Structure 1
């Protein structure tokens, strides 16, 4: 039998049934509601304070009579490159799971779908609910890392485009690196969370569910390694962009220098023939023809030489 939408005051009554499993979801609760649940379940004051204040590091703490879990759901905003996080705190007892969200940034509908897809695990009690929560969160981490990987690939294509995109590459690199740092702070502690949660002395994970939690732990390791590799890759892209800018500047410098050398030839010749002194061909057509021939020959020779050296 399933009972939904009951009052918080009735939680203890449902828990009187030894076969009952209770889930309570509180979205942006006020102090009175949270304290009511705390009194019903005997929650520790420090855990209640952490759930109220928010902005906690992902963690799993043990208290007398219950455990306390904090995790983050993440999603990448592809347009801005910003990482959107949704914090959820969970109080875990032998028969109840209480989730506390600061706002609607944590998509609770996705979590419900995940539980509905794994109803065969419900026989393992609250541990199945915790598994669904962690599995959903870690899959979100994976999706965020995949989205960041796709964005970095687009950044690489932009980096080696024939047209310079220095400002776009610099701005996007900064945005993605910032998101990766944020994601790392969310993903990295999950290894410790899963390690502690699966310990036998905790007693939360039944033996039959150990493979399911181990699978989540493997996903955490993969997401962590992937995040670290992407951070290194973004740093490499920034360094490569600076190198490309330096190479481009060298090419421009060579081209400007080459054209300056070519332009110097007619300047020198016309300057010589512009003297106010008699010289061979002075005031004659032969002087004009000679100077013109010298300009064309020497300028053309320099141009061909620079082209062979790929300076132009």
Structure 2
């Protein structure tokens, strides 16, 4: 049950000191002064405070003297509507850091791209679960982030299926396939960097849970399910990477096959076109030839051209060259 909200940060330590309290503080795009107040009020580790605002931190979970520090990344893929030939990555990452205390969680977001309302709604779905302490808050946050990973992975999976349809398009949209494949490879690389380390994050949370929520057995099943989702997300990204590699190699193979088909057709027609050139060149020499000086000589040379040309056309047609 919500007892109080909107209190001053200076009163945070007082709320955390109350027996049975459970506190959540969300700080979005904080400046140094806000984090300094929190660090002084709660005795936060300076290295963790620095990591919360530094750029380029990888997903991790670190245990400090008074708290556990988490860094995870929420993901989303921009909605369709952009130029399909634009190679710019559509994946958007939002870093979320959390200071996990024995009776509360302080989340720090670098931007407002990640909406905390779904997390809050998940916590409110089962008020009884919140009686189990801060472990329930951490689970709700991580579970929402991992669900976002699944949504982004599903969208990339659908995009790969769309590329597979283009591969065998008779119109041969090779450029579109190349651009989309390159963009997907870039997005998958970015996604793997934030999805794969989540296994270590959840493992670290599981190891330190006893220090946070007295290891409530009721939460074991929730965290086991969360860890299973993290493993599935990691395995799914690995399989998508293999699929993209296969699509790329298949596209190259199809290009070679199409080139061979074109070369066969060009070779066949070049052979047919060479026949009249050879015949007229021979009959055009300054020496007597069959039918020289007679009207039927023209018909004879034309008959040779037609007969040889039709024969070659039939042979190449039967072989599938033209």
Q: Kindly indicate whether residue 320 of structure 2 is the aligned counterpart of residue 310 of structure 1.
A: yes
Contact 2:291 2:297 in 1 (8 A): yes
Contact 1:73 1:141 in 2 (8 A): yes
Q: Kindly indicate whether residue 201 of structure 2 is the aligned counterpart of residue 193 of structure 1.
A: yes
Distance in 2 of aligned mates of 1:67 and 1:126:
11
Deviations 1:110-168 (A, max 9, x none): 22222222323111111111000000001111111101000000010011111111111
The 5 Å alignment of 1:62-73 reads 62-73=63-74
Secondary structure at the aligned position of 2:57 is classed as coil
Contact 2:123 2:140 in 1 (8 A): yes
Distance in 1 of aligned mates of 2:202 and 2:17:
30
Contact 1:55 1:87 in 2 (8 A): no
- Please report how far the alpha carbon of residue 16 of structure 1 lies from its aligned counterpart in structure 2 after TM superposition: 2.8
Q: Kindly indicate whether residue 236 of structure 2 is the aligned counterpart of residue 226 of structure 1.
A: yes
Q: Kindly indicate whether residue 236 of structure 2 is the aligned counterpart of residue 250 of structure 1.
A: no
The more displaced of 219-228 and 279-288 is 279-288
Contact 2:135 2:209 in 1 (8 A): no
The 5 Å alignment of 1:1-312 reads 1-79=2-80, 81-199=89-207, 202-204=210-212, 205-312=215-322
Distance in 1 of aligned mates of 2:295 and 2:26:
100
Number of corresponding residues? 312
TM-score (norm 1): 0.96
Distance in 1 of aligned mates of 2:308 and 2:128:
87
Deviations 1:166-214 (A, max 9, x none): 1111111111111101111101111111112112674334221011011
Secondary structure at the aligned position of 2:207 is classed as coil
Contact 2:264 2:321 in 1 (8 A): yes
Distance in 1 of aligned mates of 2:309 and 2:92:
61
Secondary structure at the aligned position of 1:104 is classed as coil
Distance in 2 of aligned mates of 1:280 and 1:10:
114
Deviations 1:270-299 (A, max 9, x none): 111112222221122211111111111110
Greater length-normalized contact order (CA 8 Å, ≥ 6 residues apart): 2
TM-score (norm 2): 0.94
Runs in 1 of length 4+ with deviation above 3 angstroms? 78-81, 200-205
Distance in 2 of aligned mates of 1:24 and 1:200:
21
Q: Compared with structure 1, are the counterparts of its residues 106 and 55 closer, same or farther at alpha carbon in structure 2 (3 Å cutoff)?
A: farther
- Please report how far the alpha carbon of residue 20 of structure 1 lies from its aligned counterpart in structure 2 after TM superposition: 1.1
Q: Compared with structure 1, are the counterparts of its residues 201 and 117 closer, same or farther at alpha carbon in structure 2 (3 Å cutoff)?
A: closer
Deviations 1:89-130 (A, max 9, x none): 000011110000111122212222222223231111111110
Contact 1:76 1:147 in 2 (8 A): yes
Secondary structure at the aligned position of 2:306 is classed as helix
Structure 2: gaps spanning 5 or more residues? 83-88
Distance in 1 of aligned mates of 2:257 and 2:164:
17
Q: Compared with structure 1, are the counterparts of its residues 121 and 54 closer, same or farther at alpha carbon in structure 2 (3 Å cutoff)?
A: farther
Distance in 2 of aligned mates of 1:193 and 1:127:
14
Distance in 1 of aligned mates of 2:154 and 2:132:
32
Distance in 2 of aligned mates of 1:3 and 1:175:
47
